[in-house]
């Protein structure tokens, strides 16, 4: 049962991933990417990662809905009304990605993977919670600072005028 679910979700995840770059409209591409993420989230649930699977599903739904707004802002082909191509160097990119896939697949099947150490804990969520609040706390602290830095940096970059610009409607006419 789980094996069937794995293969169905795996094919769907890759299929939706391909659809992202095949569909005409960028809004449709965003929702294809969302579908691919949802398949991956359920794959994580198959690996007993209840918390991370649900986290991926919820986070990606929100992220892709925000992304859809930006996609519509920067859409090259509104509504997918005109068939057009949005790619450059298609053949080269195809050759490189097929080559990378072949190399990765060869590596996957030729590498002698180590045997399994330890057993899956009764509650993996509990163990990851204890890790990030204990020995792995540095990771969480770095993530927190990275999120703060990203918030500041993205606002500074996206704002209309930079830090040292003056408003143009000042009385002395300085700009």
Partner 1 sequence: MNLEVFLLLAAALFSVGLYGALSQQSIVMLMMGLELMINALLVAGAAFWFYVSPGTPDGQVLVLVAVTVMALEMAMGFAVITALFRTRDVDMTDEAGHLKG
User: Least Å distance between CB 171 and partner 1?
Assistant: 26
End-to-end CA distance of the chain: 68
Report the run of H or E that residue 30 belongs to, with start and end: helix 26-46
Q: Indicate the residue among 28 and 173 with the shorter CB distance to partner 1.
A: 28
Q: What angle do CA 32, 157, 149 make, to 5 degrees?
A: 85
Other beta carbons within 10 Å of 5:
13
Q: Indicate the residue among 107 and 173 with the shorter CB distance to partner 1.
A: 107
Q: Which of 18, 23, 53, 22 is nearest to 38 (CA)?
A: 53
User: Least Å distance between CB 65 and partner 1?
Assistant: 12
Q: Indicate the residue among 163 and 173 with the shorter CB distance to partner 1.
A: 163
> 76 Cβ partners below 8 Å, 6+ apart?
26, 84, 86
User: Least Å distance between CB 93 and partner 1?
Assistant: 4
User: Least Å distance between CB 107 and partner 1?
Assistant: 8
Within its chain, how far is the Cα of 131 from the centroid?
24
User: Least Å distance between CB 14 and partner 1?
Assistant: 5
Q: Indicate the residue among 104 and 166 with the shorter CB distance to partner 1.
A: 104
Q: Indicate the residue among 2 and 171 with the shorter CB distance to partner 1.
A: 2
Q: Tell me phi and psi for residue 139, to 5 degrees.
A: -60, -45
């Amino acid at each position: 049962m789980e094996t069937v679910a794995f293969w169905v979700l795996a094919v769907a995840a890759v299929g939706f991933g391909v659809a992202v770059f095949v569909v005409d409209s960028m809004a449709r591409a965003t929702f294809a990417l969302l579908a691919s993420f949802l398949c991956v989230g359920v794959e994580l649930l198959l690996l007993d990662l209840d918390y991370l699977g649900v986290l991926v599903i919820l986070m990606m739904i929100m992220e892709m809905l925000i992304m859809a707004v930006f996609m519509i802002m920067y859409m090259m082909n509104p509504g997918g009304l005109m068939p057009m191509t949005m790619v450059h160097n298609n053949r080269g990119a195809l050759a490189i990605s097929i080559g990378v896939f072949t190399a990765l697949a060869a590596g996957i099947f030729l590498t002698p993977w180590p045997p399994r150490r330890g057993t899956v804990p009764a509650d993996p969520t509990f163990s990851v919670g204890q890790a990030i609040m204990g020995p792995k706390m540095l990771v969480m602290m770095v993530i927190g600072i990275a999120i703060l830095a990203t918030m500041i940096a993205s606002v500074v970059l996206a704002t209309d005028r930079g830090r040292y610009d003056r408003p143009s409607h000042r009385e002395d006419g300085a700009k």
